[in-house]
Amino acid sequence: SELIKTADGGQISLDWFDNNDSSYYPDASTRPTVLLLPGLTGTSKESYILHMIHQSETLGYRCVVFNNRGIAGEELLTPRTYCAANTEDLEAVIHHVHSLHPSAPFMAAGVSMGGMLLLNYLGKTGRDTPLMAAAIFSAGWDPSNFSVLLFRHRQMLEKLFDMDLVMKARTVREFDKQFTSVMFGYRSIDDYYEDASPCRKLKSVGIPVLCLNSVDDVFSPAHAIPVETAKQNANVALVLTSCGGHIGFLEGIWPRKCTYMDRVFKQFVQAVFEHGNKIFSM
């Protein structure tokens, strides 16, 4: 684990799997690196993250997990958390990881809110990023579970917010109106939602991105998936399944171990790292 400081005095927790026993890439300076972004309150301990790390290990790659502020047991040093629209912390992490291994091929994978955050970053940066490519799984956002984080860091957050009022929120919209949109300086809740939606930014994505969604995902229903927008950007590919739920994609009568999402992740990162130059020149 590693803690890095942010410009505003906060801290971000990174969990590394260096894979120093890699026989495919024994040179650490050029070992391909995958940055993993968990969901809303997720950490490096989530099963889907551990599956990605395992898949990367078999291929000889290095992984680093980006834990959002206040997550993974870390204390908030400032009264600021995170949201899908604000990419400052992610930008700091990407710069930090790349600076440590500037010669290593580098890509990222985001799940649920982590996927939204990654897409918003890519829409903002275009081709101006050290990432070669990105994979997005079950992009969607449900802040209703955020209250767990608020209880844990209430004393710090009370420096800026009326937490009694925030905790009275009974809907996602009420919560975002009283807390998220205020924290990040939006004039209204609608302004925040517009900025948080990666749909508007897809046209600006400048590197290859693979997005896997299930049309029965309750957090990202079929009508909300930006199929037509994605068609306008040759860098973006949408893979849609008829079932799979939210971060599910289980396979077989007795689903165990590997899922369809795991297989897509493994095949995509391997294609990017081992055949990227050929693919990108097609």
**Type of residue found at 11:** Q
pLDDT beyond 60 at 147? no
Does residue 250 lie in a domain region? yes
Pairwise CA distance, residues 87 & 167, whole Å = 25
Residue 159: pLDDT band (50, 70, 90) is confident
Catalytic positions, written as ranges: 112, 217, 246
Question: Quick one: what percent of the chain has pLDDT higher than 90?
Answer: 56
Query: What are the DSSP calls for 239-277, one per residue?
Result: EEESS-TTTT---SSS--S--HHHHHHHHHHHHHHHHHH
| Two tokens, residue 19 | 């894979």
Helix (H, G, I), strand (E, B) or coil at 28: helix
Does residue 76 lie in a domain region? yes
Does residue 259 lie in a domain region? yes
CATH number reported for the structural domain that contains residue 261 in this entry: 3.40.50.1820
The widest CA-to-CA distance across the chain, in whole angstroms, is 56
Residue 3 is classified by DSSP as E
Does residue 187 lie in a domain region? no
pTM above 0.85, yes or no: yes
Cβ 87 vs Cβ 25: under 8 Å: no
Better-predicted residue by pLDDT, 181 or 87: 87
Segments forming the whole domain that contains residue 232: 2-142+197-277
214 bridge partner residues: 241
- The residue assigned the tokens 């955050």 is 117
Cβ 178 vs Cβ 160: under 8 Å: no
Does residue 132 lie in a domain region? yes
Q: Which of 92, 49, 40, 96 is nearest to 68 (CA)?
A: 40
Cβ 118 vs Cβ 35: under 8 Å: no
Does residue 240 lie in a domain region? yes
Does residue 147 lie in a domain region? no
pLDDT at 153: 66
Count of domains observed in the chain: 1
- The residue assigned the tokens 């600021």 is 80
12 bridge partner residues: 4
Pairwise CA distance, residues 184 & 179, whole Å = 9
Does residue 189 lie in a domain region? no
Cβ 278 vs Cβ 270: under 8 Å: no
Q: What are 225-278's pLDDT values in tens digits?
A: 889 999 999 999 999 999 999 899 988 777 777 899 999 999 999 999 999 877
